Amino acid sequence: MIRRSSLPISRRAALTALGAGAALSVLFPRVRPLRAAPTPAKYFIGVYMPHGMAREFWVPKPGFQIAFEGSSLAPFDDAATFGRSFRDQIVALEGLDLTAGLRSATVGHDASRVILTGSGTNGQNASIDQFLAVEQGLGNETPLSSLVLGVGSAEPALQWCISYAKGGTALPKIIDPLATFDHAFGQFLRDPDPLAVARAAREQRLGKSLLDYWTADLAELRTRAPQAERDKLDQHATALRELEKRVIGQAVSCAVPARPDATQFPAVGSYQGGEPYFDLISNLQIDLMVQALACGVTHVSTLFLADLSRTHFDAGLPEDVHTDVAHRYASAGRSGSGGEPTSQAQLARQNHYTYSKIARILQRLAEASLLEQTVLVAISDMGDPAKHSSRQVPTLLAGGWGGALRGGRHIDLGAEGTPSNRLLVSIQQAFGVESDSYGQSVDPSILSGTLSLT
Amino acid sequence: MTRTQLLCGSLLALSLSCGTSAPTANGGAPEHSLEPALRRLSTAELDVTAQSLLGNGAALAAALPPDARQSDYSRNVAQSVDSLLLGQLFDATRSATEALDLSQAQFPSCAGTALAADRECAAATVTLLARAAFRRPPSALEVEQLLDLFTLGAESADFESGVALVVRGLLGSPKFLYATTLGTGEPGPNRLSNDELGSELSLLISGQPPDEPLLLAASRGELSSGSERERQALRLLQLPQSRDLYRRFVQEWLGLIGLNGLAKSSQVVSDFPTLRAAMVSETSQFVDDVFSHQAGSVAALLAGNYSIVPDALAGFYGIQPTAPGARVSLSGLGRAGILQQASFLATFAHESESAPVLRGKAVLTRLLCLDFPKPTDLGLDIVFPAADPNATTRERFARHAQDAACKGCHATLDGVGFLFENFDAAGHLRTTESGRAIDTSGSIQLDGQLLTLADSAALSSALANSEQVRQCAARQVVRFAAGKTDVLVEQAFVHSLEGKSVERRTTFLGLFLEFVKSDWFAWRKPQ
């Protein structure tokens, strides 16, 4: 578990994990007094947002007005749709660069990898969600250490993943709400029929034996494995522990939700006919995710959202949002003049849709009384999508962060760009992790520092 | 004619080669070796072994998360066992073992009628199953551990329940999930163990667990000999199961696996999902044919001047349907080989327009093994050409040739990509775009010469005869075998091919045989 008083990663442990031949520089944490949250945050949600932003409609008006005509952030001040306004629970953060990616040729679509890891393609550290869940023990006491979800593509490829295990391996996402339900809640379904109870007891006994057998095999393999392969086996060991929790069975602190009705989404994959159902799938994934948090199934989740291409959800947008909206976007730039207004308005509609999904997460968190203890971050892999730029990526912070975030603000870090690693440092500190750096880079200077968020 | 007969014909030209493999030093270890590694099997490999244990066409892959790819290949050392995969594997193997048919051939004959207390038959069964799962004979201790599982499963149940738990145990065991290439662990030069040699040889050449003759050769230590590995590989290539492996290799090498993750605008093609399936089918049948009849000839893949076109694609190509599986010449239609098949053309294109940059880059990186920085790596902003209903794609991309910052790379990339401009976003042949005539001229630097070409068919002919392409093909074989990119080993392997027969240097099956015969296959760096 996270201990506020101890250094989470010892120098020796970090060196061991990296191996002697590691080419990346690592800036090791320094112990220093924390400007910490009054109470550490308890829940983490990371969201991938597609296609950067139309800054013209993203930047709040003076006085943090976000409900103006065409505003991308309007869903956060839309009580009629989302039950209440979340204007005071969000921060619109501008001026972050995915600098670790810029230093390691992990840019454009590939920069998704940088969002939560603070590292480029050769990074071996976990993304912040997995760091908190596995390495810091936030997921030790829950049936699942984390819940990694997506909409559309399950591919564990650079451009489709934000969650990475220690060692640098992309984690696969669940894109089917049925699979999400089964993974998160299936173990808690109990058939009271005596025969079923007997079957479950037998299955539990057999499952334990299988786990013992596999654990012994893994230990034997580990004795022969070179140091460079240890992270892989550590991840396997984590998976075994996770499965053990499931086999043993843990009680949950709420009623198990209803299983989604599969007839409502006959396809789930991108380019496999799933697009018309993406809006429903997004909603189901969000509802199941927050229910999993509320039930104590997990404390950590990430969600990789899809765009509106071929969904036919917004008749005002072309069929191919990627090519005909994101690629065609013509920015007015920070000067606010120039560009192509139609392209800006179209990208803002896509942004508005994405933020409506994040507003739904906040609505569900508020209904479950989890909002104050939650750290939610939603980031895109690009700022200006037509340039495939990894600079000035739109960043939405939400939730109470356990008191470490003061909402209702637009924070502009400036056009020169601030490394996104500082956000990751601030996140880990909100969970009580006493470290002042996060990520890996050939340029260690970008890894440390925090953001002023209170 | 059966697939097996065809492959035998193809292999005649490959026969056992003469000469030694690479120059060796250091007790047999080559100067540059691959790192010792644990490679989690790809889902396709997991599936094959699951079927050999479960029979009945059981397929696990559909229940598992998709593979991570590295250096384009799903067979790679970056694969891992994460919580989602293990949980889904646990569930899938439980379902798949609920109704085992013990009369199937993979079980000993006693298993069909054995009682739960029949420990002798149980021992025979677990030994047989473990040989397939571990890709080596199990030790006595391992058999005992599996018998403990059997006993637990059969308790208060039956023989089948005991076997079911053993199968579940095997399919979730790290000894099954990871193919190890760690070496013997002895001090000094580090050769793969006999078991590892057998396992790797079988997985690389046939995509299957080792069969009995290979296990026997491994147990006798015969696979330390390159020529014996080559002999065994030639034997394995005659098995029909190897077809899927080489299909997958070509699809992943050329990036065609990405086709399933693409859509096309309804303005370009009306029913892309149906057409996409036909595109995949065409390429699969074509690859089968080239590997069966021409040992995977690189030249035939690129410029064979024929294909095998499914009915659903015939109209799209503007030809009459032919008999299933029959070769049809497409040379008069500008389609020389795999690069002019709709699968390649549609994969490397946008949803509604062709993509000269993507097509050029695909040829240069995948066939010539060149590397290009992304504009953002160079601090350049990407500027996508604006839509223009009065201009061709080539005209819209003209800025690439004018902008000094762009043309350094794009003169090369676009020069190749423009050669494909007579094919639209879906791979449909066209002569005009936006009412204007298509210009398919372009150029490529190949084997040290700048070639000016008329179109992509001419490009394919040039590539088919290129030593640079053949060397890249050899490097791709090393990447696939190693599960990662190792430039030094790739270069050393390419160098070792000098003086080899034409069949060995210019066909993929020849290159695979040369690699398994070589010391780079058998040796690893010391741990």
**Interchain contact, A155 vs B351, CB within 8 Å:** no
pLDDT of residue A31: 33
**Interchain contact, A214 vs B173, CB within 8 Å:** yes
Restricting to B residues 265-284, those with a Cβ less than 8 Å away from any Cβ of A are 265-266, 273
Minimal C-alpha gap between B87 and chain A (Å): 6
Encoded amino acid at A70, one letter: G
**Interchain contact, B85 vs A105, CB within 8 Å:** no
Is the whole-model pTM more than 0.90?
no
**Degrees, nearest 5: CA angle B127-B129-B133:** 115
Instruction: Please report, to the nearest 10 degrees, the dihedral formed by the alpha carbons of residues A119, A121, A124, A127 taken in order.
Output: 50
**Interchain contact, B84 vs A171, CB within 8 Å:** yes
Encoded amino acid at A49, one letter: M
> In the A/B pair of chains, how many CB contacts fall below 8 A?
170
Of residues A156, A169, A214, nearest to B66 (C-beta)? A156
Encoded amino acid at B140, one letter: A
pLDDT of residue B27: 58
**Residue partners of B186: CB distance under 8 A and separation at least 6:** none
Q: Is any Cβ of chain B less than 8 angstroms from the Cβ of A271?
A: yes
Cα distances from A411 to residues A89, A394, A425, B108, B122, in angstroms, run: 14, 11, 17, 71, 69
Encoded amino acid at A164, one letter: Y
Which residues of chain B have a CB within 8 Å of the CB of A209? 148-149, 152, 165
**Burial of B30 per CB tally in 10 Å (0-12, 13-18, 19+):** buried
- Per-residue tokens: A447: 């890894």
Of residues A107, A213, A270, nearest to B377 (C-beta)? A107
Ordered domains of chain A (ranges, CATH): 11-176+277-446 (3.40.720)
Type and span of the H or E element at A97? strand A90-97
Minimal C-alpha gap between B86 and chain A (Å): 7
Radius of gyration of chain A (CA): 22
Q: What is the pLDDT of residues A7-22, one digit of tens each?
A: 333 323 332 332 323 3
Per-residue pLDDT of chain A (454 residues; tens, 9 = 90+): 444 333 333 323 332 332 323 333 333 333 333 344 468 999 999 999 999 999 999 999 999 999 999 999 999 999 999 999 999 999 999 999 999 998 888 888 899 999 999 999 889 999 999 999 999 999 998 999 999 999 999 888 888 999 999 989 899 999 999 999 999 998 888 788 888 888 889 999 999 999 999 999 999 999 999 988 998 999 999 999 999 988 988 777 788 899 999 999 999 999 889 999 999 999 999 999 999 999 999 999 999 999 999 898 999 999 889 888 998 899 988 777 778 899 999 999 999 999 999 999 999 999 999 999 999 999 999 999 998 889 999 999 999 999 999 999 999 999 999 999 999 999 999 999 999 999 999 899 999 999 999 8
Q: Specify the residue for token string 């993509």.
A: B355
**Interchain contact, B82 vs A172, CB within 8 Å:** yes
Question: How many Å apart are CA B513 and CA A242, to the nearest integer?
Answer: 42
Which residues of chain B have a CB within 8 Å of the CB of A156? 65-68
Supply the ipTM of this predicted assembly. Answer: 0.91
Of residues A218, A323, A387, nearest to B351 (C-beta)? A323
Strands A90-97 and A393-398: antiparallel
**Burial of B212 per CB tally in 10 Å (0-12, 13-18, 19+):** exposed
Cα distances from B408 to residues A224, A277, B171, B400, in angstroms, run: 48, 44, 51, 9
Contact B393, B353 (CB under 8 A): yes
**Interchain contact, A323 vs B169, CB within 8 Å:** no
The SS3 assignment for B261 reads: helix
Question: How many Å apart are CA B426 and CA B348, to the nearest integer?
Answer: 9
**Interchain contact, B67 vs A156, CB within 8 Å:** yes
Would you kindly state where each structural domain of chain B is located, as residue ranges?
Answer: 37-181, 246-464
| Cα torsion angle, A211, A213, A219, A222, sign | negative
Residue of A nearest to B277 (CA): A272
Q: What is the pLDDT of residues A123-172, one digit of tens each?
A: 999 999 999 999 999 999 899 999 999 999 988 888 899 999 998 989 99
Type and span of the H or E element at A409? strand A409-412
From the list A345, A316, A315, the residue with the least C-alpha distance to A330 is: A345
Cα distances from A228 to residues A215, B424, B426, in angstroms, run: 20, 46, 43
Restricting to A residues 317-336, those with a Cβ less than 8 Å away from any Cβ of B are 319-320, 322-324, 327-328
Type and span of the H or E element at B44? helix B43-54
Q: What is the pLDDT of residues A228-244, one digit of tens each?
A: 899 899 999 999 999 99
- Per-residue tokens: A151: 């909409």
- Per-residue tokens: B392: 């061709």
Question: How many Å apart are CA B242 and CA B6, to the nearest integer?
Answer: 13
From the list A311, A303, A309, A313, the residue with the least C-alpha distance to A327 is: A309
Strands A300-304 and A147-150: parallel
Residue of B nearest to A144 (CA): B83
Of residues A155, A236, A389, nearest to B174 (C-beta)? A236
Interface test with B, best of A171, A199, A210 (most B CBs within 10 A): A210
Instruction: Please report, to the nearest 10 degrees, the dihedral formed by the alpha carbons of residues A422, A427, A432, A435 taken in order.
Output: -20
Restricting to A residues 130-149, those with a Cβ less than 8 Å away from any Cβ of B are 144-146, 148
pLDDT of residue A26: 35
Restricting to B residues 63-82, those with a Cβ less than 8 Å away from any Cβ of A are 65-69, 78-82
pLDDT of residue B17: 59
Type and span of the H or E element at A46? strand A43-49
From the list A159, A149, A48, the residue with the least C-alpha distance to A108 is: A159
pLDDT of residue A7: 30
Type and span of the H or E element at B464? helix B456-464
The string of DSSP codes covering B150-188 is HHHHHTTS-HHHHHHHHHHHHHT-HHHHEEEE-----SS
Contact B201, B214 (CB under 8 A): yes
* pLDDT means over runs of 10, chain B (527 residues): 42 54 58 93 92 77 86 90 94 90 91 94 96 96 97 95 97 97 86 97 95 96 96 93 92 93 85 92 97 96 96 94 91 91 96 93 97 74 75 87 79 94 96 94 96 97 98 98 95 96 96 97 92
Q: Is any Cβ of chain B less than 8 angstroms from the Cβ of A169?
A: yes
**Burial of B284 per CB tally in 10 Å (0-12, 13-18, 19+):** buried
CA–chain centroid gap for B42, Å, is 11
**Interchain contact, B261 vs A270, CB within 8 Å:** yes
Q: Specify the residue for token string 């210009």.
A: B439
Please write down the HEC assignment for all residues of B88-156: HHHHHHHHHCCCCCCCCCCCCHHHHCCCCCCHHHHHHHHHHHHHHHHCCCCCHHHHHHHHHHHHHHHCC
Residue B429 backbone dihedrals phi, psi, to 5 degrees:
-70, 140
Question: How many Å apart are CA A139 and CA A343, to the nearest integer?
Answer: 43
The string of DSSP codes covering A169-194 is PBPP-B--HHHHHHHHHGGG----SH
From the list A412, A410, A130, A163, the residue with the least C-alpha distance to A304 is: A163
